[in-house]
């Protein structure tokens, strides 16, 4: 029987990929900053429910330190993430989130002193290797061309930066959870993220917001927002139960779901090689799980 943290991580993966796919659909006709903002807004009711229903834990300076460092990084990641979804196919952006565990190996050791086993590390490297396979059709031009193709895809490059930021915020998030509670941190984090992102969204979307609201374009972001809130809750609960690198690695199975969404919803090209890359990442996931 699968461990609780694995089930929660898989739930987080599914709801993340679903939220991203539905968000990308909205990005076809809408300002990306307003889309990101409304997705956050629609995630708030469920998270505020958790905040009201569960008692407030005792907070110390370590909680506030982790929170304050992570929040501006998270705002930057929201901007880069939503731009990546708008600029490039799902099957070429979401898989690069699999690089997060590679960065986490270093970051979580530096911040939390956590180590991964040899098998776990090999599994994480499998996840990274899958990114090369995503552009394998470029191989006939030269062995380095799949890498050059990655660098030419703006959305992919942005998502690599997001993966790097997530490696830091994931470790800081676990530190904050250790000095509070999973649902309390998750809820307050997204509430304040939404609050501080609001002026950015209103300024960047100032020319589009009237039409956005008049035409009720925000209605298409209700389901992405609800999915996002479930992702946050399951993420926080899972990361509290295991090693950060392992949890994030399992969550990155969202890339498989994202590739499938890219094909079935958006008819994206080169689906075979992108699915192959996602499967390599899944092999890495299995190695990580069995290393526990």
Tens of pLDDT, residues 115-140: 777 887 888 778 777 766 765 655 55
Give the model's pLDDT for residue 199: 97
Phi, psi of 252 (to 5 degrees): -75, 0
Helix, strand, or coil here: 93? Answer: helix
Give the model's pLDDT for residue 200: 96
Phi, psi of 144 (to 5 degrees): -95, -5
From residue 181, alpha-carbon distances to 20, 55, 89, 136, 176 in Å are 27, 10, 36, 43, 8
pLDDT (mean) for 173-200: 95
Find all residues with CB under 8 Å of 261, minimum gap 6, and list them: 17, 18, 20, 21, 90
What is the greatest pairwise CA distance in the chain? 59
**Pairwise pLDDT comparison (249 vs 33), residue with the higher score:** 33
Nearest residue to 123 (alpha-carbon basis) of 261, 281, 240, 267: 281
pLDDT band, residue 81 (cuts 50/70/90):
very high
Assess contact for 276 and 39: CB atoms under 8 A: no
Rounded distance, CA 266 to CA 275, Å? 15
Instruction: Spell out the domain ranges in the chain.
Output: 4-290
Structure tokens at 21: 């796919």
Give the model's pLDDT for residue 133: 72
Assess contact for 211 and 22: CB atoms under 8 A: no
Give the model's pLDDT for residue 135: 58
Give the model's pLDDT for residue 134: 64
pLDDT (mean) for 160-185: 91
Residue with tokens 């952006």: 93
pLDDT band, residue 143 (cuts 50/70/90):
low
Give the model's pLDDT for residue 140: 56
Give the model's pLDDT for residue 22: 95
pLDDT (mean) for 254-281: 85
| pTM of the predicted structure, to 2 decimals | 0.87
CA atoms within 13 A on the CB side of 261: 25
pLDDT (mean) for 41-65: 94
pLDDT band, residue 40 (cuts 50/70/90):
very high
In degrees, to the nearest 5, what angle opens at C-alpha 284 toward C-alphas 281 and 287? 160
Give the model's pLDDT for residue 111: 72
Give the model's pLDDT for residue 251: 86
Structure tokens at 24: 């990308």
Q: What is the DSSP string of 24-75?
A: HHHHTTS-HHHHHHHHHHHHHHHHHHHHHHSPPPP--HHHHHHHHHHHHHHH
pLDDT band, residue 141 (cuts 50/70/90):
low
Find all residues with CB under 8 Å of 18, minimum gap 6, and list them: 224, 227, 257, 261
pLDDT band, residue 227 (cuts 50/70/90):
very high
User: Does the pLDDT of residue 149 top 90, yes or no?
Assistant: no
**What is the signed CA dihedral for 206, 209, 210, 215, rounded to 10 degrees?**
160
């Amino acid at each position: 029987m699968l461990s609780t943290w694995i089930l929660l991580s898989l739930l987080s993966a599914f709801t993340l990929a679903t939220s991203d796919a539905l968000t990308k659909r909205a990005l076809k006709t809408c300002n990306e900053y307003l889309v990101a903002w409304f997705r956050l807004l629609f995630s708030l009711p469920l998270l505020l429910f958790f905040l009201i229903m569960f008692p407030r834990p005792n907070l110390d300076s370590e909680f506030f330190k982790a929170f304050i460092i992570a929040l501006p990084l998270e705002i930057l990641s929201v901007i880069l993430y939503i731009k990546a979804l708008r600029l490039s196919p799902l099957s070429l952006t979401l898989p690069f989130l699999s690089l997060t565990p590679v960065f986490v190996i270093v970051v979580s050791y530096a911040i939390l002193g956590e180590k991964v086993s040899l098998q776990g590390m090999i599994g994480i490297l499998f996840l990274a290797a899958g990114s090369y396979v995503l552009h394998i059709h470029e191989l006939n031009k030269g062995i380095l061309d799949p890498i050059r193709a990655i660098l030419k895809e703006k959305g992919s490059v942005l998502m690599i930066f997001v993966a790097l930021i997530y490696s830091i915020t994931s470790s800081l998030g676990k530190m904050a959870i250790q000095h509070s509670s999973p649902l309390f941190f998750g809820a307050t984090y997204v509430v304040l993220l939404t609050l501080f992102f609001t002026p950015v969204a209103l300024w960047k979307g100032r020319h589009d917001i009237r039409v956005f609201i008049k035409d009720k374009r925000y209605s298409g972001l209700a389901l992405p927002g609800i999915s996002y809130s479930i992702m946050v809750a399951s993420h926080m609960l899972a990361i509290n139960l295991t090693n950060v690198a392992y949890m994030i690695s399992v969550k990155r199975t969202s890339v498989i779901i994202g590739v499938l969404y890219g094909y079935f919803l958006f008819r994206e090209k080169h689906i075979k090689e992108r699915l192959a890359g996602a499967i390599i990442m899944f092999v890495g996931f299995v190695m990580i799980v069995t290393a526990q």
